[in-house]
Amino acid sequence: MPIYAYRCDACGHAKDALQKLSDAPLKDCPACGQPALVKQITAAGFQLKGNGWYATDFKNSGAPSKPAAAASAAAPAASPAPEAAAAAPAAACGGGCACH
Q: Where are the domains of the chain?
A: 3-39
| Contacts for 60 with CB less than 8 Å, ≥ 6 apart | 94, 96
| pTM for the whole structure | 0.45
* pLDDT above 90 for 2: no
- Which of the two residues, 10 and 95, has the higher pLDDT score? 10
Q: How much of the chain, in percent, has pLDDT values that exceed 70?
A: 45
Taking every pair of C-alpha atoms in the chain, what is the biggest distance, in angstroms?
Answer: 70
* pLDDT above 90 for 93: no
CA gap 28, 82 in Å, rounded = 57
* pLDDT above 60 for 19: yes
CA gap 65, 17 in Å, rounded = 44
* pLDDT above 90 for 86: no
| Contacts for 25 with CB less than 8 Å, ≥ 6 apart | 4, 6, 37, 39
Which of 32-36, 77-81, 96-100 is predicted with the least confidence, judged by mean pLDDT? Answer: 77-81
- Which of the two residues, 67 and 42, has the higher pLDDT score? 42
CA gap 87, 84 in Å, rounded = 5
